[in-house]
Amino acid sequence: MAAFPTLRSLRSLRIAVSSLSCIAVTAVFIDIHHLIPFSLSSTIVALQFIPALLKSFSTIGVAITALFFVIVLTLLFGRVYCSHLCPLGTLQDIVIWLGKKKYTHRKFPYRKTNYRFFYSFTALVFIGLFAGNLILLNIFEPYSNFGRIISSLVRPLLILFNNAAVILLTASNTLGIARIPLTGPDVWNILAAIVFLAGIVGLSLWKGRLFCNLLCPVGGVLSLLSRISFYKIEIQNNACIDCGLCERVCRAQCIDSENHTVDAAACVGCFDCIGSCPEDGMGYAFRRRTSSTQKENPARRRVLLSLSSAMVASTGLSNAVDTSAAVAAYNAAKKQPIVPPGGIAREHFSQFCTACHLCVSACPTQVLQPSVIEYGFAGVFQPKMDYTVNYCNYDCVICGEICPTGAIHPLLPQEKKITQLGKVTFIKEDCIVETKKKDCGACDEHCPTKAVKMVPYGKLMLPQIENEYCVGCGACEHACPTTPRKAIYVTPNAIHATAKIRETKRLDPQNAIPQEFPF
Amino acid sequence: MDRRTFLKNGIGFSTLVGTGAVGVTALIPNSARALQSKSLTYDLVAVKGGEPDVMFTKGIEALGGIGKFVKKGQRVVVKPNIGWDVSPERAGNTNPKLVTEIIKQCYSAGAKEVLVFDNTCDNWTRCYKNSGIEAAVKLAGGKIVPGNTEGYYHPVSVQRGRNLKDAKVHELILESDVFINVPILKSHGGARLTMSMKNLMGIVWDRGTWHRNDLHQCIADFATYRKPDLNILDAYSVMKTNGPRGVSEEDVVTMKSLLISTDMVTIDAAGAKLFGIDPYDIRHIQLAEEQKVGTAALDQLSIKRISL
C-alpha cells in the first residue's frame, strides 16, 4: 500500500477535536455562573460512552444514537474515541506532552499489552454494571473521573478566584458579577480526586496511556471493537527504514518497530506515528487483520466469577437499612441519602449513577452534593440531597435535564412538583414554639406546598404536618433554626412517591379593593 | 442616634474592607437625611384604586415628591421583597411595575445610582428573574445586585435591641445615601403579616438567629437599627393565605392599594388594618412601638387618603 502524505493532517485534526471536546466538557463542569444553557451542556456530554450506555437502558433517543455513533466510529476507525472524545484521554495527552517538553529523552517503548488482565478487568466492571453494582465502574470510568477532578478540584478554586476578583475589582458589589458561596465538596471527595489525578498524571508520565490499556473500562470495550475495525494503522514494510521514530512517539506503547507491527487493539488513535515517519511509511488502511487471540484460562475465569458474584452480593448488603432500634429515628434518617427528583428510587439511582458530579455542578441551589459512602460502597461518591447546604428549588428540574446516564430522569415541572423524595417528621419537643414558647414559623414560611401549616397553639402558632402534600424538598428542614438537631426533617423514601396537590380555596380576587380605608 | 450608628458602622466597615470610598460616603454630612421627615405634610399616605405606578406617583406627590427624599448625586438603595421563586401573579414578591416607577423617579430626582437587592429565601438568580424584578430594575436603568453570600454582609451592633444585639447587614445599606424599603403586604406563618419591618430581614444575613430568639422581638429590635428613609407598602395584589410563599394564585386578591410613610410602625399598622388584622395582634408592631421605633396610633396621625 502506498503512503498517504495527507494522513499527516490527522494528527492536527485529532488535536483540534480533542481540545474542543475537552474544553467543552470542562466548561460544563466549571460553569459557576450557569451561563451555558442546559440543553447545550447535555449535548456536550452526550457522546461520553458509559453515560450514553447507561442512559440507553432507560430512554430511547439521543443516548442510543450517541452510543451507536461511538460504536460505529470505533468499528470504522479504531479507538479514535480515546484520543478525540475522552476528556481523561486528552488530560493524559496534555500531561504526556508537557512531560515530553521537559524530558526530551522521554519515550514509551513497545510493551505487550496484558490483554488477559485488561479484558478480564473490563468484564468484571461490566458484570458489576449489569448486576447494578457500579463501584468498579465509578472508580475507573474515565469521563466521571474527569468530572470529579474538575468539580472537586478546579471548580472550588475557580469560585475562590471569582470571589477574590469581585472583591478586588469593585469597592462595592455593583459589578453585577456575584460572589458564589463555596459549599463543597467534602474532604473525602477532594482527597479521592487528588489521588486519582496524581495516579493518572504519574502513570501517563511513566507509561503513556497505560491506564487506557489496563484499567479503563471504556478502553476495554473499544479495544475489543477495534480488533475488527476497518481502518487500522500499520507499518508499510516497503517504506520502513527501521528508524524507530514511530515507536518513539507512540503514547500507547502499541508499535513494535522491530517487528513492524502495530497492535490496533491498544492503539488510541492519536495519529502521531503517521507524522513521525520520515518516509511516510505509516499507513491507515482499510484492511482487516486479526490480532493475537487469547488462550483461555479456566482458573482465572473462576476467580473472576467469584469476584463478580461477591460484587453482586455486596449490592444487596450496601443497600440494607440500619434497623437497629437503638439508633434514634433522626440519626437513622440522616444516614440515608436522599435521592434527587427523577432518581426514581435509591436502587435505581445507585445502579445508574457514575458519580460524574455534573448535576452537582449544575444544581443552582447546590443542594446536590457528592456523598461519600451513604449509598454504600457500591455507590461511592454518588450525589445526594444535602439539606444542611440548601433545599431543592420547587420549580427546578435541571438535574434531570443534565444527567447523562439516566440515573436522574428528566421530569416536567408539573411532575417534579408532585415527586415525593421523602416525608417530614416534626418533633414538637425540639421546636422553638415549644421550647421557648415563641413564634418562629421558618418551616412553614419556606414550604412550597403547605405540607407544613401553622395552626393556633395557645397564643402562638405551631407547625402541623400533612405528609400527603410533602415533596421532601427539605425547605423546612433547611430553614429550621433549632440546633443541634432540626425539629423538622426529611426521611427519604426508598422509592419516590407521588404527593397530592393541595386544593386551595378560591378567594374572590376582585372585590378586595377597599371601599373606604379602615383607618 | 440612627445617624451616629450609621456613621460608626460605615467607618468600621470601611476599615474592615480597606476601601476609603465607603467611609467617605458615610462621612459626608447628609443634609437630606437631616431635613427629611420633619417637614413632611403627612405621616401616612394611602392610595387605592389605581395601577401600582400611578398610585405611587399620586402618593409621593402628596408627600411633596420624591425630591424630598432623594437629592441630586445621591446613591439610592431600593429593597423590595424578592424572597421567592414565584411569578408576579403569585404576589410573593413586590410588584415589578412599582419597582420600575420608584427607580425612574429616583433618577428624575437626580440620583447618581439606584441599586436593588434582596437576601432571597429561594435560589437568588431564579428569584430575581422569575419575580420580574430584575427586568423591572433594568427597564428603569437601575442596577440589581446580588445578596447571596455572607461576604456582602458586615457586622453592625443593634444598640437598642433587646434580644438581637448584633446583625450582619448588606454593604449597600451601609454605603448608600438613601434607603427605600418596598415591602409587599402578605400573610405570614411566623410573623402573621410581612410588611416593612419584616422586609428588613432581607438586608441581614443570619435570619436563623432571629427565628431562634423570638422572631417578633428580633424584628422589632432590628427596626431600631436603621430607619429607612422611605417605606412604600405594595398592596396591589395581596396574598391572603398560605404566605409568605403561597401555594397558587388562588391565595391572592387584588386590593389595588399602596401605603407610603417614613414610619415603619405606622405603615405596618395601617397595612395590618388593610389586611383585616388588628395591628396590636401582631406582636412585633406592638413591641416596635414600645421600643419607640414609631407609632401605631393611626387616629392621632395626619393621613392623606387618595382614591383613584
**Which has the higher per-residue pLDDT, A52 or B16?**
A52
Whether residues A438 and B217 touch (CB distance < 8 A) is answered with yes
Sign of the C-alpha dihedral computed for residues A73, A74, A75 and A78 taken in this order:
positive
Selected for mutation to probe chain A from B93, B211, B216, B248 (highest A CB count within 10 Å) is: B211
Nearest by CB to residue A181, choosing from B148, B217, B240, is: B148
A377-435 residue pLDDT tens: 889 999 999 999 999 999 999 999 999 999 999 999 999 999 999 999 999 999 999 99
Eight-state DSSP code of residue A483: S
Grid cell at residue A53: 450506555
Measured in Å, how far apart are chain A's first and last C-alpha atoms?
A: 99
The residues facing A282 across adjacent strands are: A235
- Residue B6 pLDDT > 50, yes or no? no
Whether residues A446 and B245 touch (CB distance < 8 A) is answered with yes
Nearest by CB to residue A481, choosing from B188, B211, B244, is: B211
Residue B127: closest CA among B202, B45, B235, B234: B202
Residue A253: closest CA among A237, A236, A272: A272
Q: Which long-range contacts (CB under 8 A, 24 or more apart) does A184-187 make?
A: A184/A156, A184/A360, A184/A366, A184/A369, A184/A370, A184/A386, A184/A389, A185/A151, A185/A152, A185/A156, A185/A357, A185/A360, A185/A369, A185/A370, A186/A369, A186/A370, A186/A372
Per the domain annotation, does A128 fall within a domain?
yes
SS (H, E, C) A233-292: EEECCCCCCCCCHHHHHCCCCCEECCCCEECCCCCCCCCHHHHHCCCCCEEEEECCCCCC
Range scoring the smallest mean pLDDT among A23-27, A271-275, A417-421: A271-275
R_g of chain B, CA atoms, integer Å = 18
- Residue B9 pLDDT > 50, yes or no? no
Q: What percent of chain B has pLDDT over 70?
A: 88
Contact B98, B258 (CB under 8 A): yes
Residue A142: give the domain boundaries.
Answer: 5-286
Nearest by CB to residue B171, choosing from A172, A393, A445, is: A172
Residue B86: closest CA among A448, A411, A178: A448
**A44 and A185 housed in the same domain:** yes
Nearest CA in chain A to B134: A176
Tell me if residue A348 falls in helix, strand or coil. Answer: helix
Per the domain annotation, does B301 fall within a domain?
yes
Contacts of B263 (CB under 8 A, 6+ apart): B43, B44, B231, B294, B295
A111-169 residue pLDDT tens: 999 999 999 999 999 999 999 899 999 999 999 999 999 999 999 999 999 988 888 87
Q: How far is CA A384 from the centre of its chain?
A: 13
DSSP per-residue letters across B51-118: -HHHHHHHHHHHTT-GGGT--TT-EEEEEE---SS--GGGTSS--HHHHHHHHHHHHHTT-SEEEE--
Tell me if residue A303 falls in helix, strand or coil. Answer: helix
Q: For residue A291, what pLDDT is reported?
A: 45
- Residue B300 pLDDT > 90, yes or no? yes
Q: Kindly provide the ipTM of the predicted complex, given to two decimals.
A: 0.86
Q: How far apart are CA B35 and CA B2, in angstroms?
A: 14
Whether residues B123 and A508 touch (CB distance < 8 A) is answered with no
Band the pLDDT of A8: cuts 50, 70, 90. confident
Whether residues A461 and B190 touch (CB distance < 8 A) is answered with yes
Q: For residue B15, what pLDDT is reported?
A: 38
Q: How far apart are CA A22 and CA A48, in angstroms?
A: 11
- Residue A305 pLDDT > 80, yes or no? no
- Residue A193 pLDDT > 80, yes or no? yes
The residues facing B232 across adjacent strands are: B260
Whether residues B247 and A450 touch (CB distance < 8 A) is answered with yes
Whether residues A514 and B257 touch (CB distance < 8 A) is answered with yes
Band the pLDDT of A485: cuts 50, 70, 90. confident
Average pLDDT over residues B209-237: 96
Residues of B with CB below 8 A from A446's CB?
121, 245
Residue B59: give the domain boundaries.
Answer: 39-307
Q: Do the bridges between strand A231-235 and strand A282-286 make them parallel or antiparallel, or are there none, so unpaired? A: antiparallel
Nearest CA in chain A to B216: A439
Give Cα separations from A364 to A37, A67, A359, A408, A490 (angstroms): 13, 29, 9, 16, 20
Nearest by CB to residue B251, choosing from A171, A504, A508, is: A504
Whether residues B46 and A517 touch (CB distance < 8 A) is answered with yes
Residues of B with CB below 8 A from A172's CB?
19, 21-22, 171-172, 175
Eight-state DSSP code of residue A152: I
Residue A164 C-beta-side C-alpha neighbours within 13 Å: 6
Cell 519515550 sits at which residue? A107
- The H or E element containing residue A98 is helix A87-102
How wide is the angle at C-alpha A179 spanned by C-alphas A178 and A185, nearest 5°?
Answer: 130
Q: For residue A23, what pLDDT is reported?
A: 97
Q: How far apart are CA A70 and CA A5, in angstroms?
A: 27
Grid cell at residue B38: 420633619
Whether residues B254 and A510 touch (CB distance < 8 A) is answered with yes
A239-249 residue pLDDT tens: 899 998 999 89
Per the domain annotation, does A215 fall within a domain?
yes
Nearest CA in chain B to A394: B85
Selected for mutation to probe chain B from A172, A391, A437 (highest B CB count within 10 Å) is: A172
Q: How far apart are CA B222 and CA A294, in angstroms?
A: 78
Nearest CA in chain B to A174: B145
Nearest by CB to residue A178, choosing from B148, B212, B217, is: B148
Q: What percent of chain A has pLDDT over 70?
A: 88
* Cis peptide, bond prior to residue B279, ω within 30 of zero: no
Grid cell at residue A506: 378560591
In total, how many domains does chain B have?
1
Nearest CA in chain A to B297: A519
Mind telling me how many Å the CA of B159 is from chain A's nearest CA?
A: 22
Residue-averaged pLDDT of chain A: 88
Selected for mutation to probe chain B from A414, A438, A452, A476 (highest B CB count within 10 Å) is: A438
Band the pLDDT of A313: cuts 50, 70, 90. low
Whether residues A507 and B273 touch (CB distance < 8 A) is answered with no
Average pLDDT over residues B168-184: 96
Residues of A with CB below 8 A from B123's CB?
364-365, 390, 393, 396
Burial class (CB within 10 angstroms; exposed 0-12, middle 13-18, buried 19+) of A252: buried
Residues of A with CB below 8 A from B199's CB?
none
Burial class (CB within 10 angstroms; exposed 0-12, middle 13-18, buried 19+) of A3: middle
Give Cα separations from A84 to A10, A63, A78, A222, A479 (angstroms): 11, 18, 12, 13, 46
R_g of chain A, CA atoms, integer Å = 28
**A282 and A423 housed in the same domain:** no
- Residue A309 pLDDT > 60, yes or no? no
DSSP per-residue letters across B243-264: TTT-SSGGGEEEEEEEEEES-H
Residues of B with CB below 8 A from A447's CB?
245
Per the domain annotation, does B10 fall within a domain?
no
Q: Do the bridges between strand B303-307 and strand B44-48 make them parallel or antiparallel, or are there none, so unpaired? A: parallel
Contact A471, A451 (CB under 8 A): yes
Residues of A with CB below 8 A from B255's CB?
512-514
Average pLDDT over residues A467-490: 94
Whether residues B216 and A364 touch (CB distance < 8 A) is answered with no
Residue B188 gets the label, from left (phi > 0), alpha (psi -120 to 50) or beta, of beta
pTM for the full predicted model: 0.86
Residues of B with CB below 8 A from A393's CB?
85, 122-123, 126
Q: How far apart are CA A335 and CA A319, in angstroms?
A: 12
Contact B53, B103 (CB under 8 A): no
Per the domain annotation, does A379 fall within a domain?
no
Nearest by CB to residue A179, choosing from B17, B151, B250, is: B151
Q: Residues A270-288, buried b or exposed e (16+ Cβ, 10 A)?
A: bbbbbbbbeebbbbbbeee
Mind telling me how many Å the CA of B84 is from chain A's nearest CA?
A: 9
- Residue A468 pLDDT > 90, yes or no? yes
How wide is the angle at C-alpha A237 spanned by C-alphas A231 and A241, nearest 5°?
Answer: 120
Nearest by CB to residue B151, choosing from A163, A436, A446, is: A163
- Residue B36 pLDDT > 90, yes or no? no
Per the domain annotation, does A154 fall within a domain?
yes
Average pLDDT over residues A269-289: 84
Tell me if residue A89 falls in helix, strand or coil. Answer: helix
Q: For residue A2, what pLDDT is reported?
A: 44
Nearest CA in chain A to B21: A171
SS (H, E, C) A496-514: EEECCCCCCCCCCCCCCCC
B85-125 residue pLDDT tens: 999 999 999 999 999 999 999 999 999 999 999 999 999 99
Grid cell at residue A381: 461518591
Contacts of A104 (CB under 8 A, 6+ apart): none
Mind telling me how many Å the CA of A29 is from chain B's nearest CA?
A: 19
Q: What percent of chain B has pLDDT over 90?
A: 84
B37-91 residue pLDDT tens: 457 889 999 999 999 999 999 999 999 999 999 999 999 999 999 999 999 999 9
Nearest by CB to residue B254, choosing from A171, A436, A509, is: A509
Please report, for the domain that includes residue A472, its CATH number.
3.30.70.20
Nearest by CB to residue B171, choosing from A173, A479, A505, is: A173
How many pairs of residues across A and B have Cβ atoms under 8 Å apart? 172
Cell 406617583 sits at which residue? B57
- Final residue of a structural domain among A262, A286, A310: A286
Residue A225: closest CA among A84, A64, A21, A67: A67
Q: For residue A303, what pLDDT is reported?
A: 53
Residues of A with CB below 8 A from B175's CB?
172
Residue A13 gets the label, from left (phi > 0), alpha (psi -120 to 50) or beta, of alpha
Nearest CA in chain B to A163: B151
Whether residues A507 and B150 touch (CB distance < 8 A) is answered with no
Per the domain annotation, does A330 fall within a domain?
no
**Which has the higher per-residue pLDDT, A268 or A501?**
A268
| Strand locations in chain B (E) | 44-48, 75-80, 113-116, 143-144, 153-157, 166-170, 178-182, 184-188, 192-194, 230-239, 252-261, 303-307
Range scoring the smallest mean pLDDT among A26-30, A271-275, B263-267: A271-275
Per the domain annotation, does B27 fall within a domain?
no
In total, how many domains does chain A have?
2
The torsion angle over the Cα atoms of residues A296, A302, A305 and A307, rounded to 10 degrees, is -120
Q: How far apart are CA A372 and CA A188, in angstroms?
A: 7
Band the pLDDT of B13: cuts 50, 70, 90. very low
A317-328 residue pLDDT tens: 444 444 344 347
> Which amino acid, residue A191?
L
- The H or E element containing residue A419 is strand A419-426
Per the domain annotation, does A193 fall within a domain?
yes
Cell 399598622 sits at which residue? B269
